[in-house]
């Protein structure tokens, strides 16, 4: 279920597009997310400043932010229209990465996701909402990053760990073999690109987030126990 926005396909100026309309509870839901983020950072003894809500969320989805990402080789769909309530962007035909992983273990795409996360971190930015569902696959089998609202300028250990944790947690309800190999591939690509090891809080944060993201509790528990 999609509880942030209504997301549907449509047509705009003769091209296939995706139209995202904020639900009424979106503001409240964003607040809860940020509150949970700050609370977790305090509980983990890494207090982090809150993400500014309001117009910054709109700025994050803007053409300017998409250009910033493009400069560090992170693709995002072309933005066609944006207002406080509605966002229209280019339709990316290959579906999202989580749905693809449910069908097959595509290691090259897991590696690309690790690379994208690393490039973002090297530019001192974080996604915060770095779920596999927020990566789309285009006709050239490139990864395209959508849902940009929570990008933030930050390079703390906590926020970088949160990015890695949210990606891994979002695929932790896949089968045990599938999860393990995708996990290792993603981490390896991240570490190769940054030239260092992953920020150390990611495993514990992953375990906390996994329980919230899971669509298959049995698989998630199995993966929690075995890693």
Ligand X SMILES: Nc1ncnc2c1ncn2[C@@H]1O[C@H](COP(=O)(O)OP(=O)(O)O)[C@@H](O)[C@H]1O
Residue 132 Cβ, how far from Mg ion at the closest point, in Å? 10
Residue 138 Cβ, how far from ligand X at the closest point, in Å? 9
What is the maximum alpha-carbon separation in the chain? 52
Choose which of 41, 134, 185, 219 interacts with ligand X (CB under 6 A): 134
Query: 137-176: which residues touch ligand X (CB under 6 A)?
Result: 146-147
Cβ atoms of 172 and 206 within 8 Å: the answer is yes
Residue with tokens 């999202």: 96
CA 62 to CA 64: how far, in whole Å? 5
Q: Which of ligand X, Mg ion, none is residue 48 near (CB under 5 to 8 Å by kind)? A: none
Closest listed residue to residue 75, CA positions, set 145, 136, 153: 145
Q: Beta strand pairing status for 135-137 and 125-126?
A: unpaired
Choose which of 40, 96, 117, 185 interacts with ligand X (CB under 6 A): 96
Residue 5 Cβ, how far from Mg ion at the closest point, in Å? 8
Site residues for Mg ion per CB under 5 A: 134, 147
Residue 214 Cβ, how far from ligand X at the closest point, in Å? 16
Number of residues that bind ligand X (CB under 6 A): 17
Residue 142 Cβ, how far from ligand X at the closest point, in Å? 13
The Cα angle at residue 98 between residues 224 and 177, in degrees rounded to 5: 45
Quick check: helix, strand or coil at residue 128?
Answer: coil
Residue 77 within binding range of ligand X, rule CB under 6 A: yes
Residue 7 within binding range of ligand X, rule CB under 6 A: yes
Residue 30 within binding range of ligand X, rule CB under 6 A: no
Choose which of 12, 91, 188, 227 interacts with ligand X (CB under 6 A): 91
Choose which of 100, 115, 136, 201 interacts with ligand X (CB under 6 A): 136
Per DSSP, the residues of 22-58 read: E-TTHHHHHHHHHHHHHHHHHHTT---PPPP-THHHH
Residue 197 within binding range of ligand X, rule CB under 6 A: no
CA 216 to CA 144: how far, in whole Å? 26
Nearer to ligand X, 47 or 212 (CB): 212
Q: Which of ligand X, Mg ion, none is residue 77 near (CB under 5 to 8 Å by kind)? A: ligand X
- The gap between the terminal CA atoms of the chain, to the nearest Å, is 28
CA 121 to CA 125: how far, in whole Å? 5
The residues of the shown chain that bind ligand X, judged by CB under 6 A, are 2, 4-5, 7, 18, 20, 77, 89-92, 96, 133-134, 136, 146-147
């Amino acid at each position: 279920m999609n509880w942030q926005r209504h997301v549907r396909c449509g047509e705009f100026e003769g091209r296939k597009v995706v139209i995202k309309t904020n639900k009424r509870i979106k503001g409240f839901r964003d607040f809860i997310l940020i509150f949970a983020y700050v609370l977790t950072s305090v509980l983990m003894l890494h207090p982090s400043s809150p993400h500014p809500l309001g117009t910054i969320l709109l700025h994050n989805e803007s053409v300017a932010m998409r250009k910033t990402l493009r400069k560090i080789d992170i693709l995002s769909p072309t933005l066609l229209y944006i207002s406080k309530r509605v966002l229209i962007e280019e339709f990316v035909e290959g579906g999202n990465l989580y749905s693809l992983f449910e069908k097959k273990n595509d290691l090259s795409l897991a590696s690309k996701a690790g690379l994208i996360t690393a490039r973002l971190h090297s530019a001192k930015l974080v996604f915060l909402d770095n779920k596999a569902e927020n990566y789309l696959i285009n006709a050239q089998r490139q990864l395209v990053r959508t849902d940009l609202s929570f990008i933030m300028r930050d390079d703390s250990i906590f926020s970088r760990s949160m990015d890695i944790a949210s990606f891994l947690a979002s695929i932790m309800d896949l089968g045990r073999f599938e999860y393990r190999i995708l996990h290792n591939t993603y981490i390896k690509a991240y570490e190769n690109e940054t030239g260092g090891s992953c920020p150390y809080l990611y495993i514990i944060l992953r375990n906390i987030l996994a329980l919230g993201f899971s669509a298959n509790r049995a698989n998630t528990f199995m993966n929690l126990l075995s890693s």
